[in-house]
Amino acid sequence: MSFPHRHLLGIEPLEASDIQTILDTADGLKEILDRPIKKVPALRGRTVVNLFYESSTRTRSSFEIAERVLSADSLSIAAAGSSVVKGETLLDTAKNLEAMNPDLVIMRHASSGAPHFLARHCRFAVVNAGDGAHEHPTQALLDALTLRQHKGKIKGLKVAIVGDILHSRVARSNLWLLSKMGAQVVLCGPPTVMPPGIEGLAPVTYRLEEAIEGADAIMMLRIQLERMSGGFLPTLREYFRRFGLTEERARRAKKDVLIMHPGPLNRGVEIASEVADGPYSVILEQVTNGVAVRMAVLYLLLGGSPEAAS
Amino acid sequence: MSRLLLRGGRVIDPEQGVDATLDVLISEDTVAEVGTRLSARGAQVLEMKGLVVCPGFIDIHTHLREPGQEHKETIATGTRAAAAGGFTAVCAMPNTEPVNDNEGITRLVLEKARVEGAVRVFPIGAITRGSKGEELSEYGDLREAGCVAVSDDGHPVADSRVMRRALEYAKAFDLVVTDHCEEPRLSEETCMNEGLVSTHLGLRGEPAVGEAIMVERDVLLAELTGGRAHIAHISTAASVDAVRRGKARGVNVTTEVTPHHLFLTDEEVRESAYDTSTKMKPPLRSEGDRQATIAGLQDGTIDCIVTDHAPHHVDDKKVEFDKAANGVVGLETAVALCLDRLVGEGLVDLPGLVALLSANPARVLGLPGGTLAKGSPADVTVLDLGRNRQVDPSRFESKGRNTPFAGWILKGWPVATIVGGKVVWDDLKR
């Protein structure tokens, strides 16, 4: 049975069974990363392009490693240093790439919906590596893989997502994924960064203590410092005092709570260093799982069968 | 003397309270007579049996793009689109380059329209110089040159003092002040309506109240000054309510609505997966807002239907959603959409729709036409209520192809357009 999607544009269009398939495939492929020779020929002869219009360390290197482990031929284009700075439109860049016949393009872009635009106008498969405030599907998948490894399942878990929900593609993808997989999500953050209507999708609280109470996992979101200029928050000091995750607050969660963060961290803004580096933090495991999940996504979209990966 | 007889059509002239099978005799550029069994002697005859004959439709909110943006539209192509869509007159918004804030540009537009235009063009001048929202433009000169209203078009008049002065000063020249109501600070960097859909899509939304705040302000300023305010392309329930309350206490305010706000909601942005032909200002709103605009049409709060025809070049639209230009074309779909979705669905009756497209817009801006009364300009729109056709942007006369209605199959289309006694569009079956 092959994977029933041509692109990975978001979590919202996926069924729970698709998510299950990706996670199972990632579990199967993860073992390759522990081998002395980390390379399999699964995607030999396939061409993958990493097209990054926004800066990225984790996501981009994680995709690049996943491509190499699976033996795909890949290249990375960063907006700075490409013809984008010469004013080329997204469509022209994409059409030029298409003319070189890649099998799959991974794109990060500041405009929500940019990967949909690419998928509509080009022949290659598209993976969304983060579009505006819309979705970041592979981040949610790696978070789910991490949760599943520690808790054995996702269904029934209480997960708090805390921070700037309004501007966060990570929050949206995680909200879709966790809801589809039967977890109980609580959203927390200042009202100025709660998107309209979100309370119809998950309970919202403005009190961090309430969100954390009894949580199996806490996902802290990065406060983008440039948001300060939009008048969303009075000061970072107050943000940390009211919404920052400290050791004391974390104690309200379950004893075996998982502390998660998509990175990069703002230490002392959304999360105290003691928590980020503490025993419950799985922040670096998330990064490791990122490679496995991206291997699974590439493998499935480029025609690999889920059974063969296990 | 050239004579044209429109024979045996269902003549609807709301201004005269006429809805009957009649002949319309046109002599030169005016309506000579409306009656039964009129003599065809010396006249060219057009058989109207089974068709509806209406006063020419008038769109008081069109962008013709000339001068300055001729790659998007010209007076020639825009007025041809109007003729094809059943409009005999359009009001040209001043957001040209340069802005139509002086008599020179007004005269240029009128001269071009006289030579190349397929339908009548009534220019609208700018409220403020350069539409910058600061100093009033010279309304006396604009009026004398031929402007029928003032508007800063896509630029809301943010400064309440400027708006007050505009409403006051315009009284001296019987000019209507048409305002694009949008609280600019609440819509900064936004590209759609704010709500659950914008949350889903991760797009920045502008709240519906941003429009209503300015509508309330304009109604109050019109009340204060006794000036004539016209609210452009109303799109929210709260705005409709503000106008309704204003009218109830006698404020001299009118408003208009577009087909896209009548027939689409912000869900269209999601369903189309970020298709930029669903992006315009004001943005597509919620279902509740959409219902409120229909209710506003039904109870007379909304005076007329306009297209807000905003042609764009493909380069301005075939980009990321948040980077795309605002606006959709409408001249060639508006009438058919209203026939199919308003009359066809029983929301507005046919004479009511004809009024919303002819007599009412003429009254709002004090334009000639809007009726087939004897002696009126011989501007006529002919409808075929039975005709089925699919919206096909590749067949548009407009240079713009940016419509969210591509592929819609609509029943009821304009089939002939007569301006000043001349048939400028003829799609009649013979």
Residues A264 and A304 in one domain: no
pLDDT at A83: 72
pLDDT at A85: 73
Helix (H, G, I), strand (E, B) or coil at B206: strand
pLDDT above 80: residue A225: no
B136 reaches A (C-beta below 8 A): no
Report the CATH fold assignment for B56-365.
TIM Barrel (3.20.20)
Instruction: Considering the candidates B23, B218, B308, B384, report the single residue annotated as catalytic.
Output: B308
Are A86 and A226 found together in one domain? no
Is residue A2 in a domain? no
Query: Beta partners for B193?
Result: B206
Structure confidence at residue A55 as a pLDDT band (50, 70, 90): confident
- A72: its two tokens: 């795909």
Q: Collapse the DSSP code of B426 into the 3-class scheme (helix H, G, I; strand E, B; otherwise coil) and give the result.
A: strand
Q: Are residues A215 and A235 in the same domain?
A: yes
Q: Following DSSP, what letter does each residue of chain A receive, concatenated?
A: ---S-S-B--STT--HHHHHHHHHHHHHHHGGGGSSS----TTTT-EEEEEESS--SHHHHHHHHHHHHTT-EEEEEESTTSGGGGT--HHHHHHHHHHT--SEEEEEESSTTHHHHHHHH-SSEEEEEEETTTB-HHHHHHHHHHHHHHHS--TT-EEEEES--TT-HHHHHHHHHHHHTT-EEEEES-GGGSPTTGGGTS-EES-HHHHHTT-SEEEEPPPPGGGGGGTS-S-HHHHHHHH-B-HHHHTTS-TTPEEE--S---BTTTB-HHHHTSTTB-HHHHHHHHHHHHHHHHHHHTT--HHHH-
Verdict on whether the full-model pTM lies above 0.80:
yes
| Cβ of residue B346 closer than 8 Å to a chain A Cβ | no
B316: chain A residues, CB-CB within 8 Å: none
A164 in contact with chain B, both atoms CB, cutoff 8 A: no
pLDDT exceeding 90 applies to what percent of chain B? Answer: 99
At residue A106, the pLDDT reads 98
Q: What is the pLDDT of residues B261-318, one digit of tens each?
A: 999 999 999 999 999 999 999 999 999 999 999 999 999 999 999 999 999 999 999 9
- Respond yes or no: is residue B308 known to be catalytic: yes
Closest residue on chain A to B270 (Cα)? A113
CATH number at residue A277: 3.40.50.1370
The segment(s) of chain B belonging to CATH 2.30.40.10 are: 3-53+377-426
Please classify residue B24 by burial: count the beta carbons closer than 10 Å to its beta carbon, then call 0-12 exposed, 13-18 middle and 19+ buried.
Answer: buried
pLDDT at A230: 77
Residue to substitute from B187, B192, B272, B320, interface A, most A β-carbons within 10 A: B320
The residues of chain B that CATH labels 3.20.20.140 are 56-365
Total count of domains within chain A: 2
Enclosing domain of residue A111? 16-135+289-309
Work out the average pLDDT over A214-239: 88
CATH class assigned to B3-53+377-426:
mainly beta
Q: Tell me the nearest-neighbour CA distance from B235 into chain A, angstroms.
A: 19
Q: What is the per-residue pLDDT for A306?
A: 67
Pick the residue from chain B with its C-alpha nearest to A120: B273
Q: Answer yes or no: do A244 and A300 share one domain.
A: no
pLDDT tens digits along A59-91: 999 999 999 999 999 999 987 767 777 788 999
Is the domain of A282 the same as that of A294? no
Residues A62 and A195 in one domain: no
Spatial separation of the C-alpha atoms in residues B203 and A132, rounded to whole Å: 8
Does residue A8 lie within any of the structural domains? no
Neighbours of A75 (CB within 10 A): 14
Is A63 inside any structural domain? Answer: yes
Using a CB-CB distance cutoff of 8 angstroms, which residues of chain A are in contact with residue B317?
none
Q: What is the predicted ipTM? A: 0.92
- A95 and A169 in a single domain? The answer is no
pLDDT score, position A309: 65
| B192–chain A nearest CA distance, Å | 12
Q: Are residues A274 and A151 in the same domain?
A: yes
CB neighbours of B71 closer than 8 A, spacing ≥ 6? B313, B399
Both A216 and A75 in one domain: the answer is no
A204 inside 8 A of chain B by CB:
no
Q: Specify if A103 maps to a domain.
A: yes
pLDDT, averaged across chain B: 97
Q: Is the pLDDT of residue A4 over 90?
A: yes
Q: Which residue of A has its CA nearest to B274?
A: A113
The pLDDT of residue A305 is 67
The count of other CB atoms within 10 Å of the CB of residue A207 is 11
For residue A208, being part of any structural domain is answered with yes
Instruction: Compare CB distances from B194 to A114, A121, A196 and report the shortest one's residue.
Output: A196
pLDDT of A1 higher than 80: no
Interface test with A, best of B201, B316, B323 (most A CBs within 10 A): B201
- Domain membership of residue A4 (yes or no) is no
**Do A109 and A183 fall into the same domain?**
no
Tell me if A48 is assigned to some domain: yes
Tell me the residues of chain A between 44 and 73 that have a Cβ less than 8 Å away from chain B: none
pLDDT in tens, A275-290: 999 999 999 999 999 9
